[in-house]
A = this chain, B = another copy of it.
């Protein structure tokens, strides 16, 4: 007869388990009740804070609320060393890996999850609020009318791709969510103003009237924080608008229902002329 003896199990219950927990948005209170409980009951707790900016996140306060020491892992440890420290921990006991937003928007973490499963480590996910649904929620635009999402890179990596995605979505009447590139650890963030200027440059070459000074757009700053900022206007009213602190993002609406233009007027200070855009 096999006797269960917790003494053999070291500090914890020694499940070979890796739980990916979304931190949600903005600060240490963005995590769900269930996600925090996973960290409280873990043997090892890791966290990354580089794939997305959590402007008001305080590590000490988080450690206090979960009662665990948290090991913050760098981009290098995850991408060059393939997260071996996390996998090694997961083979010893219950390991929680905390990730900004919802865990698998960043493809790096998908690789880690595949590696874990291939190594006989069970994985689970506790979801968190994602910046993507937050931006869409804030805007009042209808979720099912968004096409492909695109990231607008820094000028040194810029290409015509974002312009082409916006073009393609508009032809189908769809909205485009543009995430703006960031290097959270280097505190570099593309702004709405820079992003719009980059797209206007492409416009000047292509001349397809996709992003002109008269194109409607919605700039969003600090989605998920206590002070989100939204401004809907034609590009000429956005390009010099001060959105304040990062992170920023940008929406190019496609065809809008009148409830959507009303939402942009009520929530994002759109000019009344936006009513004429509704169909």
On A, residues with C-beta under 8 Å from B are 22, 24-25, 27-34, 36-37, 65, 102-105, 107, 110-111, 113-114, 117-118, 124-125, 127-130, 132-134, 136-138, 140, 142-151, 168, 172, 174, 224, 226, 228, 259, 262-263, 266-267
Q: How far is the CA of A121 from the CA of B74 in the complex (A)?
A: 43
Residue in B closest to A25 when the chains form the complex, CB atoms: B127
Chain B contacts for A27, CB-based, 8 A: 34
Closest chain-B Cβ to A195's Cβ sits at a distance in Å of: 16
Q: Could you tell me if B25 and A33 are in contact, using CB atoms closer than 8 angstroms?
A: no
Other A-B pairs beyond A25-B127, A125-B228, A168-B172, 6, CB < 8 Å: A30-B34, A114-B262, A114-B267, A130-B130, A130-B133, A144-B148
Q: How far is the CA of A117 from the CA of B149 in the complex (A)?
A: 29
Q: Could you tell me if A118 and B266 are in contact, using CB atoms closer than 8 angstroms?
A: yes
Q: How far is the CA of A125 from the CA of B24 in the complex (A)?
A: 13
Q: Could you tell me if A102 and B32 are in contact, using CB atoms closer than 8 angstroms?
A: no
Q: With A33-B31, A140-B104, A149-B143 known to touch, is A127 a contact of B262 (CB < 8 Å)?
A: no
Chain B contacts for A25, CB-based, 8 A: 127
Among B28, B114, B150, point to the contact of A144 (Cβ < 8 A): B150
Q: How far is the CA of A107 from the CA of B228 in the complex (A)?
A: 21
Residue in B closest to A28 when the chains form the complex, CB atoms: B33
Chain B contacts for A137, CB-based, 8 A: 102-105, 125, 127
Q: How far is the CA of A172 from the CA of B137 in the complex (A)?
A: 26
Q: Could you tell me if B132 and A143 are in contact, using CB atoms closer than 8 angstroms?
A: yes
Q: Could you tell me if A37 and B29 are in contact, using CB atoms closer than 8 angstroms?
A: yes
Q: Could you tell me if B30 and A29 are in contact, using CB atoms closer than 8 angstroms?
A: no
